[in-house]
Amino acid sequence: MSTSRPPTPSTPASKIQRTPTVTPGGSSRAQEEKILVTVRVRPLSKRELAMKDQKVAWECADSQTILYKGPQQDRAAPTSYTFDKVFGPACQTDLVYEDGAKDVAMSALTGINATIFAYGQTSSGKTFTMRGVTESAVRDIYKHIENNPEREFIIKISAMEIYNENVKDLLRPDSGPLRLLDDPEKGTIVEKLDEEIAKDSQHLRHLIGICEEQRQVGETALNDASSRSHQIIRLTVESRLREASGCVKSFVANLNFVDLAGSERAAQTHAIGARLKEGGHINRSLLTLTTVIRKLSSEKRSGHIPYRDSKLTRILQLSLGGNARTAIICTMSPALTHAEQSRNTLFFATCAKEVTNTAKVNMVVSDKQLVKHLQTEVARLEAELRTPDRASSSDILARKIKQDGNGDGRATEATR
């Protein structure tokens, strides 16, 4: 698939303000921002190097630009693509995380929903990249917790895979297919999806490892361990000031790590039987994702957005044009034999960088904390009323009214 004209250069999304603001008093105001889109070009694989007359068709011109160097078969197809960041074959995953995911991922620690996607054709390095990104994020989350002892953090994990359009709980693999339900406040939820509290970083890594082991994989002509499902690992991050502070509001946010199955062509993967069926489901759900992204990237952004056409887009609707900060890492092969699939990946990435999300700080009031706060306030007022040296109860009432912001002169009149 190709675009009719080269994408025009625009201000990199990494230069746009990416911190949703919080108004005085704790309420949040939505902050519009573009999806952060980066592209990682992997080295040629052993299979590609073994092929006769294999050529490199793509190269990184600089830290933001990818150039096509292969034979020009479609004159209308662009030869240059610009993104927030481009990582060449020699780039390490740590740098991909630092420049392409860390800022978005760490938003979850301050009550902002965040999602990190890995997108690309089969065998392009998505799972390798996402595992490294997830590990680095877990490290930084617990480093942040250690550096902020005044706050109490709770980290919960849930995980699912979408295999042949069935949703499966990766923490409880014997639970069977799960249903999707519509919640008026949370949006689409997965019914009976298990969630566990992580005791510490090692426990969280252990649970993530269990989820990765349960994921459906299979051998194809392009990949010995090809992911046959979309995997979503979700961390729910809750934090509040310690009880002594008297604060009743808590931050709560979801951090999604989404490792998509790769688009594939049966002619290249030589898939038959179950593998062919899996590939069909993967391609259809990715086509829906591409359609959603393309429609959201339109300037008019009008008409029906087909979120409900696949379970993937339905589950991740908030991350696509909604209340979340989103980063997409697109992975691709530089090989000429995969030039068309790589171009499709770049077309997707070009559309994605035009999608605008409206993230905000999510706060909740703990009933338990609120009750404690009110009990403390009542006890304080009763103590003031019982103290003979204090002013009269009417004076106490007047001061209270003034503290609440209504003492602009009317409080004095009220006590006369």
pLDDT tens for 351-405 read 999 999 999 999 887 666 666 667 777 888 888 888 765 555 556 556 666 665 5
Q: Does the annotation place 405 within a ligand binding site?
A: no
The answer to whether residues 342 and 385 belong to one domain is no
Lowest mean pLDDT among 135-149, 155-169, 365-379, 391-405: 391-405
Count of other CB atoms within 10 angstroms of residue 395: 13
Containing structural domain, residue 380: 368-414
- Res. 24 pLDDT band, cuts 50 70 90: very low
Q: Residue holding tokens 């390490």? A: 92
Q: Are residue 251 and residue 263 in the same domain, yes or no? A: yes
252 and 397: one domain?
Answer: no
Q: Which residue has the higher pLDDT, 190 or 29?
A: 190
Is residue 8 assigned to a domain?
Answer: no
How many separate domains does the chain show?
2
Decide if pLDDT at 5 tops 60. Answer: no
Please tell me the number of Cα atoms within 13 Å of 279 on its side-chain side: 22
* 196 within a domain of the structure (yes/no): yes
Q: In this model, does residue 412 exceed pLDDT 70?
A: no
Over 70: is that where the pLDDT of 93 sits?
A: yes
What's the Cα-to-Cα distance from 252 to each of 147, 239, 249, 293, 361, rounded to whole Å? 19, 7, 10, 27, 8
Note whether 133 and 261 are same-domain residues: yes
| Ligand-binding site membership of 187 (annotated) | no
Q: Phi, psi at residue 85, to the nearest 5°?
A: -160, 145
Q: Nearest to residue 122, comparing CAs of 200, 247, 7, 225?
A: 225
120 annotated to a ligand binding site: yes
The yes-or-no verdict on residue 182 having pLDDT over 90 is yes
- Domain-located, residue 189: yes
Q: What is the pTM of this model?
A: 0.80
Q: Is residue 293 part of a domain?
A: yes
250 is in an annotated binding site: no
Residues contacting 147, CB < 8 A, separation 6+ = none
Tens digit of each residue's pLDDT (9 = 90 or more) over 28-44:
567 899 999 999 999 99
Q: Look at residue 63 and tell me whether its pLDDT is greater than 80.
A: yes
Q: Is 5 among the domain residues? A: no
Q: What is the pLDDT of residue 153?
A: 96
Residue 124 labeled ligand binder:
yes
b/e code 192-221 from CB counts within 10 Å (16+ = b): ebeebebeebeebbebbeebbebbbebebb
On whether 127 is known to bind a ligand per the annotation, the reply is yes
> Is the residue at 382 inside a domain?
yes
Mean pLDDT on 115-144: 96
Task: Report whether pLDDT(26) > 60.
Answer: no
Kindly write down the DSSP assignment for every residue of 265-330, as one continuous string: -HHHHT--THHHHHHHHHHHHHHHHHHHHHHHHSSS--S---GGGSHHHHHTGGGTTSSSEEEEEE
Q: Let me know whether 232 and 289 are in one domain.
A: yes
